[in-house]
Amino acid sequence: MFHGSKALPRRGFRVVSYDARGHGESGPAPEGSGYGYPDLVADLGRVLEAEDAGRPVLVGHSMGCHTAAAYALDHPDALAGVVLIGPVTLGLPPSEDAIEHWDRLSAGLDAAGVEGFMEPYEADLRVEDPWRERVLSITRERIALHKDPKALAAALRELPRSLPFDGIAELESVRCPALVVASRDDADPGHPYDVAAAWAEAIPGAALSVEKEGESPLAWQGGTLSREVAGFCENLSFGP
């Protein structure tokens, strides 16, 4: 998420990151398990335990944002804070159109790799110039980084059918400090601004941050985003 920025370690914070199952350098889901949010939350718990993380600040984007929120709900006293970037769900079952979109991406990736993914992705993309070509380029680069396309395709089928929580009102139970990072819809409609704003309103005391009009989404600005997270962390109290 931070695109190589060292702002957090330079300001004294230890940064631990990992690839979710079926993504990046991580392998597929173990036999007998899958890619739903209960599995992702359990994985996150194992990472935190292995790293002896104490009371960390969780930072996640999109799927990672949902995983962090679900963990915060399940472990209300375990975190110093959460940074929730680009939420997508309001905790409601997705529409049939949304499921069909993800199934097309999954089937394309499963059948023909990156190009098989990009064909339906480009057909479904509702982003106009000047952002469209950049979004396509970034997406192509990111999909190519996953070492196991078959596992990613399975995750793309299963994860949209899973919910991290049941309804937006459940976020009222998040008890740690929270920063919600939004994107404006002209460049990043896949992470709707209104959803991020609803999260910030639902979580007690949460702050909402978004890029200025005409700028790249804050989630794309690694250095700026990392400094925003560092500033949030510096205002927290890290107890035992």
* 3-state SS assignment for residue 192: coil
Q: Are 37 and 162 in contact (CB under 8 A)?
A: yes
3-state SS, residue 55: coil
The whole-number pLDDT of residue 75 equals: 96
| In the block, residue with structure tokens 């992705």 | 121
Enter the pTM of the model. 0.96
Q: What pLDDT score does 238 carry?
A: 64
Which amino acid, one-letter code, is at 186? D
Span 98-117, average pLDDT: 98
- Give pLDDT tens digits for 181-196: 999 999 999 999 999 9
Which domains does the chain carry? 7-16+53-92+164-234 (3.40.50.1820), 96-156 (no CATH)
What is the per-residue pLDDT across 36-54, written as a single tens digit (0 to 9) for each? Answer: 999 999 999 999 999 998 9
Q: What is the pLDDT of residues 128-166, one digit of tens each?
A: 999 999 999 999 999 999 999 999 999 999 999 999 999
Instruction: Give dist(CA 88, CA 132) in Å, integer.
Output: 20
Tokens of 81: 């804070």
